[in-house]
């Protein structure tokens, strides 16, 4: 195809997607007209850069030398991109990671970059990650996950929405001001890591170390690492749930038993464990651990009204989730139980026979795994005591001769921000400028520790400003970002720079 025709087709497709979304971008303010036009004209180049980044198999989950080399390559490419913007870049050596099998692998560097140090301007720090979840063409992908493929305006590829696309959208916004020789309205700092999908190894220690250096002049922190709850309407995220992850082990002995030889004459560990796990939550989803709801924040009328305005098509959500029926019938109930109430999920049993076939074994030792998503104002240490007391009480009533041990292996608190903070108001205004609508104000039911880390250590305003649509499929097969979201998201970040600058005029 002729390149000019290709660009025309891409632009037309972007317009059609805009119309399909039911939103028209408002006329941009005078200072943004050229910026938005430049982004539209450069969209094919921006997509090409995303393609080059997606092609790097920066998988941090599988601890192999090949993938670790790819991670180092990805961080080097990003550092070079930032240097081309004129940023000062420090790739911080994070040492090595010791694996359970005794293997040692180097941890990819964390990038700290700065662009501008005008004391009259506010400083915005952007966090992003460049590592991805595992992906393989034979695992349900319709295209090669590491070859960005556009189909009907959708850009398919691992990392397209999580999180390479949003990182590049921020870079696109910065580079546009430079290309037009316009003064960047704010000072910019970047913190980019390559181990987020593997638990952000060493990130918290670095943030603590750099608190009074790299982060000393930061006024606002922006994270763009989650999704809208709609395919059409943008969102701002102001809270996430925490997570307490537990194991409960029931042991008779280290060896398994033959059920024909021992069945009927001993307390079977699996029977004890099933009873313990069955005591945690009822069929309506209510957690049965005494006192677990005592510290959950009260629901205010203001908060309740926020759920009513959120754009969530419940029927579409149910169908896309391939769930026959949810536990709750209304949009408001669904959202509240995803975001602002705790939930308990049972994840699996270690030590049990789970292979095909019929093996008549009695496991000698089994370990159940479950987690509780925490919400304000729950405390992980209090929850740990409540869980242990409950399971000990249930176990004692069984009069079992087995041994039980309960451990909390992870205790991450929830995060919530003030939606009336000036940064959130600036983001709302930028969204109205680009999308012509007010955003959904949402929380995220999952746990994103980095938001809490920044808020607690640095003590500055933290906001999550997602770009991807609800159906982007992060972590899943056929992950994608819509071309429209990627390009309009680049405009959003540019508009956000101007709105933040206005706060300091």
From the candidate CATH numbers 3.30.70.360, 1.10.3720.10, 3.40.1080.10, 3.20.10.10, the one assigned to the domain spanning 242-296+341-412 = 3.30.70.360
The DSSP bridge pattern shows strands 242-251 and 403-412 to be antiparallel
Q: Exposed e or buried b for every residue in 299-323, given b needs 16+ CB within 10 A?
A: eeeeeeebbeebbbebeebeeeeee
Question: Cis (ω within 30 of 0) for the bond into 204?
Answer: no
Q: What is the spatial distance between Cα 263 and Cα 260, in angstroms, rounded to a whole number?
A: 6
Q: What is the DSSP string of 34-94?
A: HHHHHHHHTHHHHHHHHHHHHTS--BSSS--HHHHHHHHHHHHHHHHHHHHTT-EEEEE--
What is the pLDDT at residue 26? 53
Distance of CA 391 to the CA centre of its chain: 31
What is the pLDDT at residue 368? 98
How confident is the model over 266-298, as pLDDT tens digits? 999 999 999 999 999 999 999 999 999 999 999
Domain(s) of CATH 3.30.70.360: residues in the chain: 242-296+341-412
Question: Cis (ω within 30 of 0) for the bond into 163?
Answer: yes
Catalytic positions, please? 131, 196
What is the pLDDT at residue 102? 86
DSSP β-bridge partners for residue 287: 281
Contact (CB, 8 A) for 141 and 478: yes
| H-assigned helices in 159-266 | 165-179, 203-209, 259-262
Q: Is 129 annotated as a binding residue?
A: yes
Burial-class residue 409 by CB neighbours within 10 Å (0-12, 13-18, 19+): exposed
Backbone Cα Rg of the chain: 25
Q: Is 440 annotated as a binding residue?
A: no
Q: Is 197 annotated as a binding residue?
A: yes
* Residue pLDDT tens, the chain, 505 long: 444 444 444 444 444 444 444 454 456 776 799 999 999 999 999 999 999 999 999 999 999 999 999 999 999 999 999 999 999 999 999 999 988 888 899 999 999 999 999 999 999 999 999 999 999 998 899 999 999 999 999 999 999 999 999 999 999 999 999 999 999 999 999 999 999 999 899 999 999 999 999 999 999 999 999 999 999 999 999 999 999 999 999 999 999 999 999 999 999 999 999 999 999 999 999 999 999 999 999 999 999 999 999 999 899 888 888 899 999 999 999 999 999 999 999 999 999 999 999 999 999 999 999 999 999 999 999 999 999 999 999 999 999 999 999 999 999 999 999 999 999 999 999 999 999 999 999 999 998 899 999 999 999 999 999 999 999 999 999 999 999 999 999 999 999 999 999 999 8
As a whole number of Å, the end-to-end CA separation of the chain is 48
Handedness of CA 413, 419, 424, 427 (dihedral sign): positive
Give, in words, the CATH class of 3-240+414-504: alpha beta
User: Tokens in use for 474?
Assistant: 């992060």
CA–CA distances in Å: residue 150 to residues 147, 474, 484: 10, 17, 12
Q: What is the DSSP string of 176-197?
A: HHHHTTPPPSSEEEEEEES-GG
Question: Cis (ω within 30 of 0) for the bond into 49?
Answer: no
Domain(s) of CATH 3.40.630.10: residues in the chain: 3-240+414-504
Q: What is the pTM of this model?
A: 0.88
> In the chain, what are the helix, strand and coil shares in percent, each to the nearest 5?
40, 20, 40
CA–CA distances in Å: residue 481 to residues 176, 205, 313, 334: 21, 32, 20, 25
């Amino acid at each position: 195809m002729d390149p000019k025709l290709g660009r025309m087709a891409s632009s037309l497709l972007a317009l059609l997607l805009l119309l399909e979304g039911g939103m028209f971008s408002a006329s941009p303010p005078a200072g943004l007209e050229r910026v938005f036009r430049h982004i539209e004209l450069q969209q094919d180049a921006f997509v090409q850069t995303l393609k080059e980044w997606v092609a790097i198999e920066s998988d941090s989950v599988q601890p192999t030398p090949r993938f670790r080399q790819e991670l180092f390559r990805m961080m080097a490419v990003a550092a070079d991109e930032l240097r081309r913007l004129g940023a000062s870049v420090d790739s911080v050596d994070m040492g090595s990671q010791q694996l359970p099998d005794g293997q040692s692998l180097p941890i990819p560097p964390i990038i700290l970059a700065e662009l501008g140090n005008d004391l009259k301007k506010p400083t915005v720090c952007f966090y992003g990650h460049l590592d991805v979840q595992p992906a393989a063409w034979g695992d349900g992908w319709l295209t090669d996950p590491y070859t960005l493929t556009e189909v009907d305006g959708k850009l398919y590829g691992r990392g397209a929405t999580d999180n390479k696309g949003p990182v590049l959208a921020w870079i696109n916004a910065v580079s546009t001001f430079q290309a037009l020789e316009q003064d960047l309205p704010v000072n910019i700092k970047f913190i980019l890591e390559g181990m987020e999908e593997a638990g952000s190894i060493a990130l918290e220690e670095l943030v603590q170390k750099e608190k009074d250096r790299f982060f000393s002049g930061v006024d606002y922190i922006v994270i763009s690492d989650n999704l809208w709850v709609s395919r059409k309407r943008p969102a701002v995220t102001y809270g996430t749930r925490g997570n307490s992850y537990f194991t409960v082990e029931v042991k008779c002995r280290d060896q398994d038993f033959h059920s024909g030889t021992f069945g009927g004459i001993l307390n079977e560990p699996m029977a004890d464990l099933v009873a313990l796990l069955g005591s945690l939550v009822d069929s309506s989803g209510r957690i049965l651990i005494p006192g677990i709801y005592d510290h959950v924040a009260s629901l205010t009328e203001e908060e309740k009204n926020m759920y009513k305005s959120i754009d969530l098509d419940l029927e579409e959500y149910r169908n896309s989730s391939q769930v026959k029926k949810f536990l709750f019938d209304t949009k408001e109930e669904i959202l509240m139980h995803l975001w602002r109430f705790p939930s308990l999920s049972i994840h699996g049993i270690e030590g049990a026979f789970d292979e095909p076939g019929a093996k008549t074994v009695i496991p000698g030792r089994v370990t159940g795994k479950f987690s509780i998503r925490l919400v304000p104002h729950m405390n992980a240490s209090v929850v740990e005591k409540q869980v242990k007391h409950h399971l000990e009480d249930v176990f004692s009533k069984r009069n079992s001769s087995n041994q039980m041990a309960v451990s909390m292996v992870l205790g991450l608190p929830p995060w919530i921000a003030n939606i009336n903070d000036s940064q959130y108001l600036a983001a709302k205004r930028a969204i109205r400028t680009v999308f012509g609508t007010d955003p959904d104000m949402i929380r995220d039911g999952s746990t994103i520790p980095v938001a809490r880390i920044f808020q607690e250590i640095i003590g500055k305003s933290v906001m999550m400003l997602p770009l991807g649509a609800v159906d982007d499929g992060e972590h899943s097969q056929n992950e994608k970002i819509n071309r429209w979201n990627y390009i309009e998201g680049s405009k959003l970040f540019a508009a956000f720079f101007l709105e933040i600058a206005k706060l300091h005029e």
